[in-house]
Structure 1
Amino acid sequence: MTMTQDVATTAGSEKQKQDGLLLRGLRHPRLPGLGLAAVAVAVAWLIHAAVPVLPFLTVSVILGILSANLPGISAAVEGVMQPGLVLAAKRFMRLGIVLLGLKLSLIDVAALGWTTLGIVAGIVVFTFAGTILLGKALRLPGDESVLLAAGFSICGASAIGAMSGVTKTDHRGTVVPIALVTLCGTLAIAILPALSGPLGLHDAQFGYWVGASVHDVGQVVATAQTAGTTALAGALIIKLTRVLMLAPMVTGAALVQRYRRRRASSGTEEAGAKLPPLIPLFVAGFMAMIVVRTFGILPHVALEIAATTQDLLLAAALFGLGASVQVRSLLQTSGRAILAAMLSWGFIAVLAFIGVQFIPDGTP
């Protein structure tokens, strides 16, 4: 074989190897599910653009639930699509939580003043504890009580995703809490504005009430904007202050988990078992992004790109989680969880209504 032929053979082998790698990549088991999630996110975005009152992330969850329950596509969702949807539900959720930190500036939070900060923190802590007690009274299985508590008290699906990282709950274990917190947050878009007049709330108070009681940021925007820009501005700053509670609440839950595991494994073969981290890596990333936003390290255009990326990641994650919801099974097996969710929703609405009466009128 001549040198020229040898080079040609080697080049041909390299080309075949590259083609083989490309083919295997195109046949990756996660690609179908990720492709479906991407299409669903695009459809959700178009629906939100056409009907802005419908939050982008809420539409994504609904599309996921429909895909899991409509004939013709449900079999594929449970089969070939599942690996990619599981990846989206878990990994994309955590990446989205990290980027959520870029929406928070400690300077804006500090401007609220100690009174308002104390009220918001009290609402979060009392709702969290009250929901856990409700869950235990209703004998909810597994970690449902803790996940519902995180979702209703802090920031909806994002908080449930963060808390599941501490409790080590499988993504399917987060499906019911996320479905319920999404349901209640969607109902709030219609119900809270209707109650504003009878309760005698002026625009700023209504915004504070929405920010203190509604779950996901998108749902807060959709609800508060019905009362104008003053209400929307107040709702967002109160809501983002609740989001700031994500890190300490998750860290507190991690401490409790570590203590329980130490007690359970004391004197057993599991005594040297690995304990959950005090702060999961993605929550540490969330805190780091808050610092980045506070010090103004990134330009405005980078923050806008990050905000859009975060929305897309969370939308894909929520579609993946929604695709795990079997409506018939949910209605048959989750009656107690539905009751707990409704009671928790009512509890935070009442608690927030009382709390906002004491928020100074000068709150930004």
Structure 2
Amino acid sequence: MNIKKTGAILLCLVIGWLATLSTDWQTALLDRTVMGGPMVALLVSMIACNLLPSLDKDFKAGTTFASKKFLNWGIILTGATLSFADILGTGVKALPLILFNICLSFAIALLVGKKIGVSRNTSILVGGGTCICGGTAIATLSRIIKALEEEIAFAMAAIFLFDTLAAFSYPYLSGALGLTDNQFAFLAGTAINDTSSVAGAQATYVAMNGLGEWSGALNVKLVRTTMLIFVALVWTIIMAKDAKGSGKGGQSDSLLNVVKKTFPMFILWFVVMAGLNTFGVFEFQVLSLDMSAAKLLGKLAKFLFASALAGVGFKIKFKDVFSKGVKPIALGGITWACVAASSLAFVFLFSGYIG
């Protein structure tokens, strides 16, 4: 590991640590928490990256490591604070909305994209990034549909812009609308694109409402993330049929290979940790800290989420976002707005079902 990569990782950890501490500082100064640690870390690194553009180039390998690995580890450790009852409650109940939003997102992206002259591949990537899990879905689908680098960049720019907006605004919007905790979980878990952004929005909401180790939004998001497997399978079949129809059919991946390539392994470990916690494995007290192992792991997860968001922030350059093309950005905004409207309508119309 080279010096720059190590330095970037350490920088993300320091920002994550200070951002995590900032929630206590906010409480001391304002008597309440205005913004959760992960979103503070995202904001700090975004500002640093845009004021000092060379940081992204110099530290890219390290910030990429932080944004991916720390996020996955944070999700795994979050499992230690939950039980199967938690996961199968809010998360699975959101499945009808998740499936509807997947269909809606692709339909809007493809129809509007065709209307305004955005390439089919870019439209597919915007639809997938909006309805599943942001950059991960874009990266997965880009391999299946053989998207060009330019098309990937267009989709990424559109997703990052509105994802960041949603992550910052939804906790406050939920308060203004008087949503219950479960309603917020449905909204954030189904209408914020990237898992890291859901974690950040959830941290802000938890801090604002004093909910401790509550992880409802993340539970919904992880169920939604698993849908990437099925979306990848569907597009594999569609592309294989298109290739066969055009006479360009080659050797395509088997369904098993598609599952192997697309299944997020961190979700499996998240479930394992939740299973262990369900049977009380993490209930023992860490004597020197006067807290349970589950609570300690939950605090470590929040620190890792903040460090991961610091890595994400170093990738967001405002000038790049708006230089990637107005049409893809507009398509991302329209698709995002439709999914957000769908989720908001659901949480109000089915409030009794959500609880």
TM surpasses 0.5: yes
Give the C-alpha shift of residue 252 in structure 1. Answer: 0.6
Correspondent of 2:99 among 125, 137, 141: 125
Give the C-alpha shift of residue 327 in structure 1. Answer: 0.7
The question of whether the paired residues in 2 share the 8 Å contact of 1:143 and 1:167 is answered with no
Q: Distance in 2 between matches of 1:150 and 1:306?
A: 32
Give the C-alpha shift of residue 255 in structure 1. Answer: 0.8
Correspondent of 2:237 among 259, 276, 291: 259
Correspondent of 1:356 among 327, 347, 354: 347
Give the C-alpha shift of residue 283 in structure 1. Answer: 1.6
CA RMSD of aligned residues (A): 3.9
More contact order relative to length (CA 8 Å, sep ≥ 6):
2
Q: Distance in 2 between matches of 1:217 and 1:343?
A: 24
Q: Which residue of 2 aligns with 1:271?
A: 251
Unaligned 5+ segments in structure 1 are 1-24, 197-204
Correspondent of 2:322 among 331, 341, 345: 331
Unaligned 5+ segments in structure 2 are 27-32, 144-148, 193-197, 284-291
Q: Distance in 2 between matches of 1:244 and 1:258?
A: 21
Correspondent of 1:45 among 20, 24, 33: 20
In the superposition, relative to structure 1, how do residues 31 and 181 fare at CA in structure 2: closer, same or farther (>3 Å)?
same
Q: Which residue of 2 aligns with 1:84?
A: 62
Corresponding pairs, count: 315
In the superposition, relative to structure 1, how do residues 277 and 310 fare at CA in structure 2: closer, same or farther (>3 Å)?
farther
The question of whether the paired residues in 2 share the 8 Å contact of 1:123 and 1:352 is answered with yes
TM-score (norm 1): 0.68
Q: Distance in 1 between matches of 2:317 and 2:218?
A: 31
Q: Which residue of 2 aligns with 1:294?
A: 275
Give the C-alpha shift of residue 299 in structure 1. Answer: 0.6
Deviations along 1:84-103, one digit per CA (max 9) or x if unpaired, are 22332344344444445445
TM-score (norm 2): 0.70
Q: Distance in 1 between matches of 2:303 and 2:121?
A: 27
Deviations along 1:151-177, one digit per CA (max 9) or x if unpaired, are 6556xxxx3354245335789764652
Q: Distance in 2 between matches of 1:144 and 1:57?
A: 29
Q: Which residue of 2 aligns with 1:21?
A: none
The question of whether the paired residues in 2 share the 8 Å contact of 1:206 and 1:224 is answered with no
Q: Distance in 2 between matches of 1:140 and 1:50?
A: 46
Correspondent of 1:191 among 165, 173, 181: 173
Q: Which residue of 1 aligns with 2:162?
A: 180
The question of whether the paired residues in 2 share the 8 Å contact of 1:94 and 1:161 is answered with no
Q: Which residue of 2 aligns with 1:320?
A: 311
Tell me, what secondary structure is at the counterpart of 2:258?
A: coil
In the superposition, relative to structure 1, how do residues 110 and 325 fare at CA in structure 2: closer, same or farther (>3 Å)?
closer
The question of whether the paired residues in 1 share the 8 Å contact of 2:39 and 2:204 is answered with no
Q: Distance in 1 between matches of 2:302 and 2:161?
A: 18
1:213-232 equivalences in 2 (<5 Å): 213-214=187-188, 215=192, 216-220=198-202, 222-223=204-205
Q: Distance in 1 between matches of 2:317 and 2:263?
A: 29
Q: Distance in 2 between matches of 1:150 and 1:311?
A: 27
Q: Which has the larger radius of gyration?
A: 1
